Chain A
Amino acid sequence: MIFSVEALSFRYRRHEPWVVRDFSLGLSPGDFVALLGPNGGGKSTLLKLLAGIIPGAEGVVRYQDRNFLALSPAERALKVAYSPAVFHVEFPMTAEQAVMMGRTASGGGFLRHINESDRASVGEAMELCCCSRLRERDVRELSGGERQLVQLARSIATGAKILFLDEGLSQMDLNHQSAIGKMLRGLATDRGYAIILVAHDVNLAVEWASHCLLMKGGRKIAYGPVEKALTQEHLRELYPDTSFIVGTSPATGSPKVFFSK
């Protein structure tokens, strides 16, 4: 196990309801987790807590055997890359410069500017994320899906082997969703990355994910390999107002969720 959480609880203020409650999870290299759940269920907050973006959580977060939240921001950024759901810039910046920001923590002192290894990581990450052709474009002029490609490339360029991606694929076209899904799967299985991807499109996420994490009201409803976690009972618990049946894709054999009457 490379990354684990035990009994994580968090609320923004005292006497307010818990946003994340008594949450435990362990990630191993090769795990590609689809994080599913209703709006306001604590998914984004959970990712931020795990990445150390929001302070003040109860519980323990460990990277290998070390207290992850006690590390400095730079040390954390070299181990975990977090990318938020929105990517908003008000200033002119090319896609390549935006990806280069992934190298912030590996940069060293203020006298060392960009070097060859930075360029290599950025080039490779942009290639993986199908956004090399956007290199010189201003990120403010990119479409939502293209921005997600750039943001994902930034996370990969950090060199961190744990990726927390908040709505990483939601605005991409089908072609990019498929290419990026496969690519992330490849990072997990071939290079030992551990990935958590927040998604609302269940069918899309479980096409490539190895595990499913279902979350509601700040609590873990189910966690396990996709086939075990993605059941009709769990889905009913997650979304009580809608009924589903769970089947399999005729093409790939992966589990799929269908609306039922």
Chain B
Amino acid sequence: MNALFSRTSRAYWTALAAWALSFALALKIGSVPGADFDLIYQLRLPRAILASAVGAGLAIAGAALQALFSNPLCEPYTIGISAGATLGTVVGAVIGTQLIFMGISGLAFVGALVFAVLLLFVARRSTAGSSSLLLAGVMLQFFGASLVSLWMVFADPTGIQGALSWLLGDLSRARLDGAVLSLALVLILSFFLWMDWRALDAFLIGEESALALGVDTHAARRRIIFFVSILVGACVSVAGMVGFVGLLIPHLVRRQVGSLHFSLLPLCVVWGAASLTFADSLARFVARPYELPVGVVTALIGAPFFLWLVMRRGAAA
């Protein structure tokens, strides 16, 4: 009985309740008033499921990246892995195939993986520490964004509007079957990532210490980067560049249950799902009858948080 009310299980109950609430809210509100069955079933439900999947995937990917690089400012968006996935998707649009597998773009995965491996290379070669990693991430983002802009200049102008809102992070194209598939995929990948909780814990105190504690750091790093890349590829190919969920959620959950990944990762999944579902409701609601891209909402909340983190780190160092 005690276990039901311990600090950690309270955290699980709270997270699940938050997710249920935001999911209900997402079905209830929208950019147009009224709610008939078709509207909820065909538009809002798939969208809420997709928001849950993308939020969960980005949050757990952020938590894993922060541990892997032992850097609290990491997440798929800030270090450019999302940009890699975007570039991959755009390359797919140019060559006319996405190599779709299980509902995600294979090219988005390849793009994410290539950028992630580049980052690993920079992180290992540079002696300047964690800030050089972020700078490298920003450069990768510029590089990816320039190529994407190049594509937009030459692309068919009728498709630009859709492409632009996808780039900003957009869940409006959700369909029920695809959304359910995405959610299933994210949950499976999250489980694989969670299997490495012991290694991720050890990475928190640095790679050398992790190795000294008995973690096969090379193998663990390969696995983590691989699963993170698929997750990011999956999220970006369906929702575009949604930033800062992967940054914010892990930090908020850590305040509640600490940094150890046995509990942190599952809670990030649930809170990530809850928060992006809520953010998407906001995106549909605040400017009604128009809809904002959800990435704009997360960036408006997330970017100030990022600055606050940077300042707090500066104060600590």
Residues in chain A within 8 A of chain B (CB atoms): 48, 51-53, 72-78, 81-84, 87-94, 97-98, 101-102, 104-105, 107, 110, 113, 140, 158
Contacts and interface: CB of A to CB of B under 8 A. Distances in A.
A92 B259 contact: yes
B291 interface: no
Interface string B203-219: 01110111111111100
A52 B259 CA distance: 27
A141 to B, nearest CB: 10
Given A51-B212, A74-B216, A140-B316, A110 B197 contact: yes
A53 B259 contact: no
Given A90-B72, A97-B258, A104-B202, A73 B197 contact: no
A53 B202 contact: no
Interface string B177-202: 00000000000000000111110011
A91 B255 CA distance: 10
22 contacts: A51-B212, A53-B211, A72-B216, A73-B211, A74-B215, A74-B216, A77-B212, A77-B213, A82-B212, A84-B206, A87-B209, A89-B204, A91-B66, A91-B259, A92-B254, A92-B258, A93-B260, A97-B260, A98-B205, A104-B202, A113-B262, A158-B214
A73 B214 contact: yes
A93 B209 CA distance: 15
A182 to B, nearest CB: 25
Contact of A73 (B198, B215, B313): B215
B160 to A, nearest CB: 41
Contacts of A94: 258
A139 to B, nearest CB: 9
A93 B262 contact: no
B71 interface: yes
Contacts of A158: 213-214
B70 interface: yes
A107 B215 CA distance: 11
Contacts of A97: 258-260
B198 A104 contact: yes
Contacts of B210: 104
B72 A91 contact: yes
Nearest to B130: A90
Q: 6 nearest interchain CB pairs?
A: A77-B214, A105-B214, A74-B214, A91-B259, A104-B213, A82-B212
A72 B201 CA distance: 19
Q: What is the predominant secondary structure among interface residues of chain B facing chain A?
A: helix
Contacts of A91: 66-67, 70, 72, 204, 254, 259
Nearest to B210: A104
A158 B209 CA distance: 13
B213 A92 contact: no
Contact of A87 (B194, B205, B216): B205
Contacts of A81: 212
Given A93-B258, A104-B202, 20 more contacts: A53-B208, A53-B212, A77-B213, A82-B212, A83-B209, A83-B212, A87-B205, A89-B204, A90-B204, A91-B259, A92-B254, A92-B258, A93-B259, A97-B260, A101-B213, A104-B201, A104-B213, A105-B214, A110-B194, A110-B197
Contacts of B316: 140
A224 B243 CA distance: 60
A101 B262 CA distance: 13
B213 A105 contact: yes
Contact of B214 (A48, A76, A93, A110): A76
A242 to B, nearest CB: 31
A55 to B, nearest CB: 10
Interface in B58-77: 66-67, 70-72
Given A110-B195, A110-B197, A93 B204 contact: yes
Nearest to A104: B213
Contacts of B255: 92
Given A97-B260, A104-B198, A113-B262, A90 B212 contact: no
Contacts of B209: 83-84, 87
A77 B206 CA distance: 16
A140 B196 CA distance: 24
Nearest to A114: B262
Interface in B266-317: 313, 316
Interface string B37-79: 0000000000000000000000000000011001110000000
A194 to B, nearest CB: 16
A201 to B, nearest CB: 24
Nearest to A108: B198
Contacts of B213: 77, 101-102, 104-105, 158
